[in-house]
Copies of this chain bind each other. A is one copy, B any other.
Amino acid sequence: MSEPLKIAVAGLGTVGAGTLALLAQNADLVAQRCGRRIDVVAVSARTRERDRGVDLSGVDWYDDAAAMAREADADVVVELIGGEDGPAKAVCEAALTAGRHVVSANKAMLAHHGAALARQAEAAGVGLHYEAAVAGGIPVVKALREGLAGNRIRRIYGILNGTCNYILTAMRDSGRRFEDVLAEAQKHGYAEADPSTDVDGIDTAHKLALLASLAFGTELDFAAVHVEGIRHISPLDIVFADELGYRIKLLGSARMTAHGLEQRVHPCLVPTDTPIAQVNGVFNALVASGDFVDDTVYEGRGAGGGPTASAVVADLIDIARGRRTPVFGVPVEALEKAEPAPMQRHQGAYYLRLMVRDQPGVIADLAAAFRDEQVSIESLLQHGQSPTEAVPVVLTTHQTEEARMQRAMAIISGIEAVVEAPRLIRIEEL
């Protein structure tokens, strides 16, 4: 057997501890699959005292993770600190400067600085691996970068944030409101104290930007992702969606259109009988469609210590075996600068829920607004009647352009009997 692969691990939270536990528990198996052992030679974390359930004897401890990345006698630095900038980025830059491979689970950092880091890795002739940054243990980065590499990718979409999917699933199961389910998820540790990165769609957008670069061979462009979260989804919308044959999911989607690269993160109505509609709770799933392979689906746990450690170690095994692939599938220089497709040019069908005072002529006014913008109505639902309270009216449209829909919404918002801001959810054709 060859020399061991020596690794230094920065960050010993759930994923860091999980990675050390995996490397200890499956050491022989991993060595066999690598053709060499993987030895943890150094670690760094905020506090040395905490018991993490893993044996750190014989491992060098560093209080300063960047110093470890520079100085430890390691072939690979595993960055599991997290955060867009700060220590995580400093660790990666230091490791690459020192000519060490980097494995990172940090989607925020990579979405913002992935191009610069990839350029640095390429110049240094080392790898920058990030299977753990997207969809936890599901090997989607490997699937896109290698398994489907013969295909021109037509489209990718998926459920990439377990917290949002847990909340939407629980809302549907229990009929409760977003705020209540979020509070419960926070209590159980499924959602952060500050849930914004998850529920406002930012985390999904980080992951989507990485996958889109891989899938389409384009430069990372996180700023171009259209992002909406799930805060405005109401139990009423979930009930109407059910009635119409849909589930509501937060999807990240990317495809190349006639207007450029479309990258979108927003709640979607997806037909109940599609695989993605059946992905519930904390599970993640990705659909990747290629010109020869057609649709392929990947599903599993998108977070947690075990699944994420599985992805980190898969990257380590690739490094140990000497399997090299450019960071985004092709050399950084070959990545194309894609024109971002303006959201106003998006083509799709729409679900629109209004709260209206139940008075004669309202439906006629709504219909006129759609007619004026040449948006074709597919269905209209009005349940319940009330002389005093507002009642919900739900409309779905045929395929149209986002700009038309937004103009129709503006007219509708001005109708006197419409008492709340209209709620728009896009219907995704899968």
Chain A interface residues toward B at CB < 8 A: 18, 22, 25-26, 29-30, 32-33, 35, 131, 136-139, 142-143, 146-152, 217, 273, 275, 278, 285, 290-301, 306-307, 309-314, 316-318, 321-325, 329-331, 334
Contacts and interface: CB of A to CB of B under 8 A. Distances in A.
Nearest to A143: B139
B301 A293 contact: yes
B313 A137 contact: no
Contacts of A26: 150-152, 291-292
A410 to B, nearest CB: 40
A76 to B, nearest CB: 14
19 contacts: A18-B292, A29-B152, A33-B330, A35-B331, A139-B147, A139-B296, A142-B142, A142-B147, A146-B314, A146-B318, A150-B310, A275-B275, A278-B278, A285-B297, A293-B301, A293-B311, A296-B299, A296-B301, A321-B324
A142 B323 CA distance: 13
A151 B310 contact: yes
A143 B150 contact: no
Nearest to A317: B149
A307 B296 CA distance: 10
Nearest to A298: B298
Contacts of A30: 149-150
Q: Is the interface of A mostly helix, strand, loop or mixed?
A: mixed
Nearest to A320: B149
Given A275-B278, A323-B323, A148 B314 contact: yes
Given A291-B306, A295-B300, A321-B324, 13 more contacts: A26-B150, A29-B217, A30-B149, A32-B334, A131-B147, A139-B142, A142-B147, A143-B147, A149-B317, A150-B317, A292-B313, A293-B310, A297-B297
Contacts of A25: 291
Given A150-B314, A317-B150, A300 B307 contact: no
Contact of A142 (B143, B275, B307): B143
Contacts of A325: 321, 323
Contacts of A329: 33
Closest 5 CB pairs of A and B: A139-B147, A150-B313, A137-B293, A296-B300, A293-B310
A169 to B, nearest CB: 13
Contacts of A137: 148, 290, 292-294, 296
